[in-house]
């Protein structure tokens, strides 16, 4: 299992008391699985990804990612864990502006202790069809191209898990489908699991594996079944 969540709860302290954000009694994702999480805005989809990435600590429960119990790790240990095991793709502004596409890809493995050489980085860019844009800066790339660079970068560290938070949120339907297909194919080729969060059902439906629904403030009520 790449993800094993038990009794996960996240609450925020507000003036009116504790406000529940997430409550997931049990949730598992198998190795190399491709899972889409959908749900309305504010339902806690991104929050769940942040917990899985070790960027946020839950109020209670156990979160095991790639065989490591994240709740027992310090922030620094979680940073290192993230650096080695998983990649994160955001909706926008994935790339560092002062770095070329190639350098952004190389940055993906910069904190793994096993940096990526230029040739391998170029091969990853070629995989997403951007070998001729390797020297371009993010401002010289379209949003779709930037997302493809982000996909290349997410693969740079050879992760066991890729977390994608609304990766198609800023794209038109044509490019949106293209990016999702590319992401799924790349993950399959590299043998890593993929958790994709999207509020668009069409995006989720492209997934081969399964689609989970996230309902507002409550647990992951997965459809469980395959498309």
Partner 1 sequence: MNFPRIVFKSLRSHWLSTGLAIVSIALGVALLDAVVSLREQTHRNFTQEGLGVDAILGPKGSPLQITLNALYHLEEMPGKIKWSYYRKVLADDVVADGIPFITGHSYAGFRVNAIDDRFFSAFEYLPGQHFSFRSEDGGQGRVFSGNREAVAGSEAARLLNITLGKTFNPTCGVNAGDPVHVNDTITFVGIMAPTGTPHDRAVYIPLKSFYTLEGHGNDVRDMAVNEEHREISGAYLKIKRIRGNVLHPGIQDLKYNIGQSSQAQLVIPNEVLPRLFNIIGWVDHVIMGIALLVTLLALLFLFIALISALRERRRDLALLRCLGATRRTVMGLVLCESLFMAAAGALLGMIAGHLIVGLGCEMIRVETGLRFSAAYVSTADLYIVPAVLALGLLAAVIPAVQAYRLGVLKNLTLIS
Residue 148 interacting with partner 1 (CB under 8 A)? no
Q: Give the relative orientation of helices 173-190 and 143-156 as an angle to the nearest 10 degrees.
A: 10
Residue 11 interacting with partner 1 (CB under 8 A)? no
Backbone angles phi, psi at 57, to 5 degrees: -100, 130
Closer to partner 1 by Cβ: residue 32 or 99: 99
**Pairwise CA distance, residues 168 & 180, whole Å:** 7
Give the angle subtended at the CA of 51 by the CAs of 153 and 24, to the nearest 5°: 130
What binding mask, one character per residue, do residues 94-133 give for partner 1 by CB under 8 A, x or -?
xxxxxx---x--xxxxxxx--xx-----------------
Residue 73 interacting with partner 1 (CB under 8 A)? no
Residues in the interface with partner 1 (CB under 8 A) total 42
**Pairwise CA distance, residues 137 & 168, whole Å:** 20
Q: How far is CA 140 from CA 58, 95, 144, 146, 170, in A?
A: 39, 12, 12, 9, 17
Closer to partner 1 by Cβ: residue 110 or 226: 110
Least Cβ distance, residue 47 to partner 1 (angstroms): 6
Closer to partner 1 by Cβ: residue 112 or 131: 112
**From 4, 57, 80, 136, residue interacting with partner 1 (rule: CB under 8 A):** 80
């Amino acid at each position: 299992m790449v993800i094993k969540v038990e009794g996960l709860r996240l609450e925020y302290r507000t003036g009116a008391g504790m406000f529940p954000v997430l409550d997931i009694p049990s949730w598992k994702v198998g190795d190399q699985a491709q899972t889409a999480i959908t749900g309305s805005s504010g339902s806690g989809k991104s929050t769940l990804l942040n917990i899985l990435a070790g960027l946020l600590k839950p109020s209670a429960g156990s979160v095991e990612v790639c065989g490591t119990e994240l709740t027992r790790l310090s922030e620094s240990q979680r940073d290192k864990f993230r650096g080695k095991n998983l990649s994160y793709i955001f909706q926008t502004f994935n790339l560092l502006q002062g770095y070329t596409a190639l350098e952004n890809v190389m940055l993906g493995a910069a904190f793994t202790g096993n940096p990526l050489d230029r040739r391998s980085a170029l091969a990853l860019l070629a995989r997403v069809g951007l070998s001729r844009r390797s020297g371009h800066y993010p401002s010289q790339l379209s949003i779709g191209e930037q997302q493809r660079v982000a996909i290349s970068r997410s693969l740079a560290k050879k992760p066991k898990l890729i977390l994608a938070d609304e990766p198609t949120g800023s794209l038109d339907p044509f490019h949106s489908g293209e990016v999702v297909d590319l992401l799924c194919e790349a993950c399959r080729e590299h043998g890593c699991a993929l958790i994709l969060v999207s509020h668009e059902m069409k995006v989720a439906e492209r997934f081969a594996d399964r689609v989970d629904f996230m309902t507002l403030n409550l647990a992951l009520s997965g459809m469980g079944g395959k498309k």
